[in-house]
Structure 1
Amino acid sequence: MGSRLRVVQWTTGKTGTAAVRGMVGHPALEIVGCYAYSPEKVGRDVGELAGIGPIGVTATDDVDALLALRPDCVTYLAYRPDFEHLERILEAGVNVVTTMYMLAGAGYGEEVRDRLAAACERGGASLYTTGVYPGHMGMTALAVSAMCSRIDRISLLESVEMSGYPNERMFRAMSIGLDPADPAAPGMIEANCGSFKEQIRVMAGALAVDLDEIRFTAEFGVANDDLDFGFMKLRKGQIAGFKGVTAGMHRGRSVIECRFVWKLGHDLTPNWPVEDGYVLEIEGSPGVRVQLAPLGGAHFSGAIATAMPAVNAIPHVVAAPPGIVNHTGLPFVTGRHLLTRDQVG
């Protein structure tokens, strides 16, 4: 690669900050701009927002100014999608990588999918969705599946205690803090697991499986005592965790499953054990189990693991033909350039 690809970072929350830190000093990528959602971040240096010192790039909320930079790609890591912004970026000919996996299909509705696909065609740009789960774990499962002569079921599990990821806004949207009898709670957690349905559809397509339907089930865990995590508080008896599964069904049998055990704290009823990471199981011949967990007992950084599959895919996405693409339509995404790279921050 003769020159580095020009990238605009879209927001600097937890995942966006991890993306910035992953791109600064990258031999193939250069941050040339940043979109700030919060007014207090406008005018500040992006490196300082990411906690690594100034890099000479100032955050702005001026979309036209960012597009005028003629970036090759936008790392779109906003909390919720702004479809008008996405449409403007794509039709300007700027590729997009994002961790909003529901954009891989019709998770936000067929109208949104068609609108963004049309913007891709008008601008000659690509839109790629990934992350760790859903996203990279699905790609890992497909790679492992090549070892098998028969596959009966594929199961992916994210099993974590979440207090190390201080995000009250996200947790409240998932129904954490509600009474488990609140009629709104089941719909809230299912809506926040909608991206798993797209992950299952992508995997089913890659494995040539026709699905009859996708089912969702979940159960709640409640706090056994009042809890104070610093960034939010819960009272005894309120929802503090979930255990559930999104299952792709074929001829009445679950064949692809995205499972989760998410706990805020360790004192819940039921008090499910956690793996502190990800477990992939393939039932078949041979049966295979793969665990991704932090090395040496360290805390698993969900922000880094979510952001970097998008960052590392940027060169492939820039080279991809126009349209909405997923990991089955790209060359295998790896940590290219990272093995001998100097540490940043």
Structure 2
Amino acid sequence: MSRLRVVQWTTGRTGSAAVRGMAGHPALEIVGCYAHSPEKVGQDVGTLAGLSPIGVTATDDVDALLALRPDCVAYMPFRPDFDHVVRILESGANIVTTMYMLAGDGYGENVRDRVEDAARRGNSSLYAGGVYPGHAPMVALAASAMCTRVDRISVLESLDMSGYRNERMFRAMGIGRDPGDPAVPAMIEANCGSFKDQIRVMAHALSVDLDEIGFTAEFGAADRDTDFGFMSVRKGQIAGFKGTVAGIRAGRSLIECQFVWKLGHDMTPNWPVQDGYVLTIEGEPGVQVRLQPLGPHFDGAATTAMPAVNAIEQVVAAPAGIVNRMELPFVRGAGLLTP
């Protein structure tokens, strides 16, 4: 069978991990790449991703990329360009993306409507993945099939983030700010908007209507000045968060996306970290699943990129529209087992 033609959209940390995952993939072929940074234009995509050259050159020419007639675009920029998303879908190319809010209401109903309309016009589909939000909650949903009754289902991401060198993302979350800064609560809640969309997807899958989605968070302050190599945090500044996004029905929290995110361990409060994901179902029977690395830590870029990459075959075959609400077969690493 011929491999599916894929255009990689940007080669930041996550996009580069996607390229590494697709290089040599039995079902996928990288045929083009969009470069957001001018200095990347003209460079080989393999080189940009830390591989040997693969014979595909990055460009910022959107028309040229769409003229390649890709089956799918792996869309992974730091921030979305909604005009680009619409053009890609209208062209007939499908999209897999790690930007989970593109599949929900996080960017507003107008954006969601534009995406849906573009997909219908192009007879294309969009799927948003990643590890959390994304794949870890799907594992929790799979575990719920073991139960006769579910009282609450929760997913916790608990990580030391200091190995993930992304100062721009951390600053946008509020790390490095004063805990008393009145702008910080809104900053961290805005960065958790994708979890609200994840709660809605899980509620739909579990056939429950929610009354509201709540959000709570607390902050940890650094105990000393620390240089992490890619950014510094001074004593007393925010260095971590603990919080919950909760789907609520009749005053009860039924579905929860929880997080403990720390930049290092010298902070107060100094919450323990699980170095992975803890999926808990309270009910009959109670079930808990842990996703933990076999090595020292997960490669966050790879675990974010690959649930989207491994969905490409299913997304190409899916009906037109946004297909996150359980319209796809379960995403898995098909074709990756080596004899």
Q: What TM bracket, shorter-length normalisation?
A: over 0.9
Look up the SS of the partner of 2:283 in the other structure: strand
Partner of residue 58, structure 1: 57
Return the match for 1:320 from 318, 321, 324: 318
Rounded to whole Å, the distance in 2 between the matches of 1:86 and 1:74 is 10
Look up the SS of the partner of 1:163 in the other structure: helix
Spell out structure 1 runs of 4+ moving beyond 6 A: none
Partner of residue 204, structure 1: 203
Rounded to whole Å, the distance in 1 between the matches of 2:253 and 2:300 is 28
Look up the SS of the partner of 2:126 in the other structure: strand
Rounded to whole Å, the distance in 2 between the matches of 1:274 and 1:224 is 17
- Give CA-to-partner distance per residue, 1:192-241, whole Å, 9 cap, x none: 00000000000001111010000000000010000101100111000000
CA contact 2:96–2:308 (8 Å) conserved in 1: yes
Q: Match for 1:299: what amino acid?
A: H
Partner of residue 308, structure 1: 306
Look up the SS of the partner of 1:331 in the other structure: coil
1:126-205 matches, cutoff 5 A: 126-205=125-204
Q: Match for 2:308: what amino acid?
A: A
Partner of residue 278, structure 2: 279
1:30-179 matches, cutoff 5 A: 30-179=29-178
Q: Match for 1:23: what amino acid?
A: M
Partner of residue 332, structure 1: 330
Rounded to whole Å, the distance in 2 between the matches of 1:327 and 1:112 is 17
Look up the SS of the partner of 2:215 in the other structure: strand
CA contact 2:100–2:128 (8 Å) conserved in 1: yes
- Give CA-to-partner distance per residue, 1:280-321, whole Å, 9 cap, x none: 0000000001000111x4221111111000000000000001
Q: Match for 1:114: what amino acid?
A: D
Q: How many residues align?
A: 339
CA contact 1:139–1:327 (8 Å) conserved in 2: no
Look up the SS of the partner of 1:299 in the other structure: coil
Superposition TM-score, scaled by structure 1 size: 0.97
Rounded to whole Å, the distance in 1 between the matches of 2:286 and 2:74 is 37
Partner of residue 264, structure 2: 265
Unaligned runs of 5+ residues in structure 2 are none
Q: Match for 2:234: what amino acid?
A: R
Q: CA deviation at 1:270?
A: 0.3
CA contact 2:213–2:248 (8 Å) conserved in 1: yes
Q: Match for 1:309: what amino acid?
A: P
CA contact 2:10–2:33 (8 Å) conserved in 1: yes
Rounded to whole Å, the distance in 1 between the matches of 2:22 and 2:272 is 35
Look up the SS of the partner of 1:31 in the other structure: strand
CA contact 1:166–1:231 (8 Å) conserved in 2: yes
Q: Match for 1:82: what amino acid?
A: D
Q: Match for 1:176: what amino acid?
A: I
Rounded to whole Å, the distance in 2 between the matches of 1:233 and 1:137 is 30
Partner of residue 11, structure 1: 10
Rounded to whole Å, the distance in 2 between the matches of 1:198 and 1:254 is 16
Rounded to whole Å, the distance in 2 between the matches of 1:12 and 1:85 is 16
CA contact 2:204–2:325 (8 Å) conserved in 1: no
Look up the SS of the partner of 1:146 in the other structure: helix
Q: CA deviation at 1:103?
A: 1.5
Look up the SS of the partner of 1:291 in the other structure: strand
Rounded to whole Å, the distance in 2 between the matches of 1:259 and 1:332 is 23
Q: Match for 2:324: what amino acid?
A: N
- Give CA-to-partner distance per residue, 1:265-292, whole Å, 9 cap, x none: 1101000000010000000000001000
Look up the SS of the partner of 1:9 in the other structure: strand
**Superposition RMSD in Å:** 0.8
Rounded to whole Å, the distance in 1 between the matches of 2:186 and 2:325 is 29
- Give CA-to-partner distance per residue, 1:60-89, whole Å, 9 cap, x none: 111000000000000000111100000000
- Give CA-to-partner distance per residue, 1:311-340, whole Å, 9 cap, x none: 000000000011011161101111011110
Rounded to whole Å, the distance in 1 between the matches of 2:188 and 2:197 is 16
Q: Match for 1:321: what amino acid?
A: P
CA contact 2:154–2:258 (8 Å) conserved in 1: yes
CA contact 1:92–1:123 (8 Å) conserved in 2: yes
Q: Match for 2:41: what amino acid?
A: V
Rounded to whole Å, the distance in 2 between the matches of 1:42 and 1:223 is 40
CA contact 1:130–1:327 (8 Å) conserved in 2: no
Look up the SS of the partner of 1:315 in the other structure: helix
Unaligned runs of 5+ residues in structure 1 are none
Percent identity, aligned pairs only, is 76
